Amino acid sequence: MFHIALAFDDNYAVPAQVLVESILFEHKDFSQKFKFWVFCAGDVASSNVASLKRQLENRASYHIFDNVSDHDKLETSSIASLGRISKATHIRIFMDDYLPKDIQKFLYLDCDIICLGSLDDLFATDLRRLAVGAVQDAYLQNFIDGFHQGMPGIDDYLEIDPRSSYFNSGVLLINRAVWQQAGIKDRALEYLASLKGKIRLPNQDSLNVAAYKSWMSLSARWNYMQPWRLEPRFGGVLSDAALVHFISQNKVWLDTYSDGELKRIYHQYLRTIDVFRR
């Protein structure tokens, strides 16, 4: 059984269904090998929960955690331009507390992702004695990279080399035994508590601190963060990615997103899930 965890607020309820549909389509002959663990923030409409249940019924195993609230007291980004980042993004930090003890490994996915290929090789990844498998961020490649002079508070962590690689937290393959032994959740929460009013990318920065030297760098195929490079009109090949992540503010479901194969595929899935949303 392959275990996949999703977390979202009401704004991402429909994209979550698109993600689920894309995974089921790419594994249509083997969909019963998946179990979806769905974490819904308190504002998710009951109609959206019901729609997701209809979509998954008799197609894959699932369990829905409704009205999840562990994250409610945590801060979002202190940077005005990142105010769109929802508190619900913190839910991934707490997921391990909810899942049955017999699950050894699970895959967390952001809901602004679509699946374009088989995930078998990703689930087969041997994380050895590391807590997390993730992809190096395409834009913030180390702790001091990027906007706002790098990651806030990094100077207080003398054990961290600021030039070390930094991962994107939108796709996380989690080795639960090591995650627990390393105290990933507690370390992430300690980081957030120490930076009240100065937080940049809340869950991502905190998890990079918490999983320092305990994560495996995966191929960009498993979290492709530059979707435009895949477009055939730019010489790209869609099959180069299995999970495409629309990390910018200009999401693929918006009218402002450029036309192309990825937008066509996304809207095809939107039409497919319409039957579950009636």
- CATH code of the domain in which 87 resides: 3.90.550.10
Distance CA 143, CA 132 (A): 17
pLDDT tens, 192-242? Answer: 888 776 777 778 889 999 999 999 999 999 999 999 999 999 999 999 999
Q: Per-residue pLDDT averaged across 184-198, rounded?
A: 87
**SS3 state of residue 76:** coil
pLDDT at 125 over 60: yes
**SS3 state of residue 175:** strand
pLDDT at 73 over 80: no
pLDDT at 71: 67
**SS3 state of residue 14:** helix
pLDDT tens, 150-175? Answer: 777 777 887 889 889 999 999 999 99
Nearest CA among 231, 268, 238 for reference residue 253: 268
CB 109 within 8 A of CB 19: yes
User: Cβ contacts of residue 8 below 8 Å, gap of 6+?
Assistant: 15, 16, 39, 40, 41, 44, 88, 111
Distance CA 78, CA 140 (A): 18
Give percent above pLDDT 70 in the chain: 92
Strands 105-109 and 113-115, how do they pair?
Answer: unpaired
Distance CA 199, CA 187 (A): 15
Distance CA 14, CA 274 (A): 10
pLDDT at 103 over 60: yes
pLDDT at 157: 83
Chain-wide mean pLDDT for the chain? 91
Distance CA 82, CA 276 (A): 32
Query: How many distinct structural domains can be found in the chain?
Result: 1
Distance CA 12, CA 246 (A): 13
Q: Per-residue pLDDT averaged across 38-59, rounded?
A: 96
Nearest CA among 105, 76, 113, 112 for reference residue 91: 76
The residue segments making up the domain with residue 200 are: 2-277
